[in-house]
Chains A and B, each alone.
Chain A
Amino acid sequence: MQCKDFESVLASEGFGLLPAEAREHLDACARCKEFLADIDSIVAVARTLPAEVAPPDRLWISLRAQLEAEGLIKEQVGTTEHASWWENLVVWFRPRSLATAGAALILAVTVAFLTHTRNRNVAEQAAPPTVAGNPQLAGSENTSAPEETHLTGSGKSSAPGPPPSRVKELKPSPSENASTTLSETELDVSNMQLAGGNGNAKVDASLRQNLRTLNEFIAECEQHLRKHPKDELAREYLNMAYQQKADLLAAMMESGRSEH
């Protein structure tokens, strides 16, 4: 038997019992002895390696958050359930920039649309017949609270709201929609950050601190607007805060993406 034949036997028969002819060759051949020793040591080292490690739960949460942010799935973020169809799909989203860009775009468009819609509603409220004829165009935030009595000094802003019975039929106001959308996105971002885990601490701390600042400010403005729904300055600041929050959440997504 030649060395080449011995290697073939080893490849086909494995490391178990070698045929007699192969063992005879091994006894006589120093090269093959060395070769077999190398193989043995590799196998020994390989056996010391840990078994394949399952991905951590936080990874699935992060992927789910991305898919929800993109609108591909719409579920409550829960605990890990492996091997569903979408989990296999997320392999295609490994470059997180794709998911992040998509989510940020959706967020920006949503906020811009809602803000625009709200502004249009305010403008249309100035024309009483249109508002009365189309209650869906009137923001409910302007009708759910009692009418301000001291705002009619110029006589231009006293547009009557729709009848109380119709108020209940109104869809949620754009501001409420923006608030809800942003809150959902904030939850997704929190999940992504939990999943990321190893971000730049200083940057993350600043982003989170500023998110808290914005949330407090938004809550303050919203509370004020519930009492004074026609306070345009407060609404202007609320819309600016919404826009800033959308930008901040996009930055937080970007920060999460940069970590990986």
Chain B
Amino acid sequence: MTWLEFPTYILLTSVFWLLALVLLLTPKRSVFHSLKGVFLFLGWASIIVFTIGLWISLERPPFRTLAETRLWYAVFISTIGIVLYYRWRLPLMLAYTLLMAILFLFLNYLNPDTFDKTLMPALQSPWFIPHVIVYIIGYAFLGFSSLIGVYGLYLYYKGKEVDRTLLMADNIVYIGFAFLTFGLLFGALWAKEAWGHYWTWDPKETWAFLTWLSYLLYIHFRIRKKQSPKTALWIIALAFVVLLICWFGINYLPSAQSSVHVYSS
């Protein structure tokens, strides 16, 4: 399986998931409503099949290029959305995660990568896969929590109660933050083996650390119970901007002309 077959699979995935979202709107007890699970699964399965196929055909884990990380982001965020939906019945979050996943797949359709089968020697390490996987899981959770933050801001400015929203964001930040910490520390341990030092203030490292600090700020801001919810919501929304710079914006920063981590495209 290669990127050439990609359009077929994203078409399948998008159609299945959009159908599932439409069925979600039907009355709770109707047959249609219960059918949505089937479509959720079919959409998920088709993207998983593609990902595994790509992995096999590339003969290396597909974690190298920006398009490949976007593919994984789509896989993880939709998985998280579906699991959270069945665990806590969060239809809005399901819709958000599926639409985000579709958006990312669509971005890949517009900007597919060239075939790059090679992996530079320093990246051929047992650390590589765990490092990238924990990062992507971290990003998926943190991005998700920030979206909850944005939703909270919306509620806040409409004069609604945001306590519950913030508590939900808290829990998701904790999980995402822990994964991000793992990503940073695995990165450090690996860098020591590959390059001789665990931390070099490479732009990608710097921005990942900044992302980490932003959410650290949020966690500590939320410790006191009587903090302004507005500030908390703004912190978590802005932290997302830092996360996005770390992920996509780095290539455009003046400080990042020599990063070893900038994704090739």
Indicate, yes or no, whether A interacts with B: no
Task: Give A contacts to B, CB under 8 Å.
Answer: none
